[in-house]
Amino acid sequence: MAYDETTAERVRKVLSSRRDVVEKKLMGGLCFMVNGKMCCSVSGRGGLLIRVGAAVREVILREPHVRPMEMAGRTMSGFVRVAPEGYRTEAALRNWIKRGVDFVATLPEDSSMPKVSRRQRGKP
């Protein structure tokens, strides 16, 4: 199943200033990896998957247009699915992507990953 190309392009635009973003086709969609960690994904089933972390997921699920992310009948505890109505505006899309970026910034560096210089990460 193909992912939503229009939404993918919108996500690319939001993340375009970062140098640490890599796109990968995973889980039936297009995932955006930030500093080697999955941040968000544009789904083929509609909607945007955002990695928010298990600690805040239940609170975020109370927001409009948000539901649990399910894959192969299993609920993914650190992710939510946002319906297109929830990111219709550019401001709303930026907010959701920021949540994903902010969460992956809290994750520890993977020692098996090649080191990325501060310059490659888009930092001065």
List pLDDT tens digits, range 62-99: 999 999 988 778 888 899 999 999 999 999 999 999 99
Domain-embedded: residue 63: yes
Instruction: Kindly state whether residue 116 falls inside one of the protein's structural domains.
Output: no
- Kindly report the pTM of this predicted structure: 0.84
Residue 111 domain flag = no
Between these two residues, 11 and 120, which has the higher pLDDT value? 11
Domain with 75 in it: 5-104
In a domain, 115, yes or no: no
Measured between alpha carbons, how far apart are the two ends of the chain, in Å?
Answer: 39
Provide the CATH number for the domain around residue 68.
Answer: 3.90.1150.30
User: 83 is written with which tokens?
Assistant: 């319906």
* Cβ burial, residue 34 (10 Å; 0-12/13-18/19+): buried
Two structure tokens written together for 74: 């299993």
Rounded Cα gap, residues 21 and 31, in angstroms: 10
* Structural domain total, the chain: 1
- For the chain, percent of residues with pLDDT exceeding 90: 69
What is the DSSP pairing of strand 37-43 with strand 29-34? Answer: antiparallel
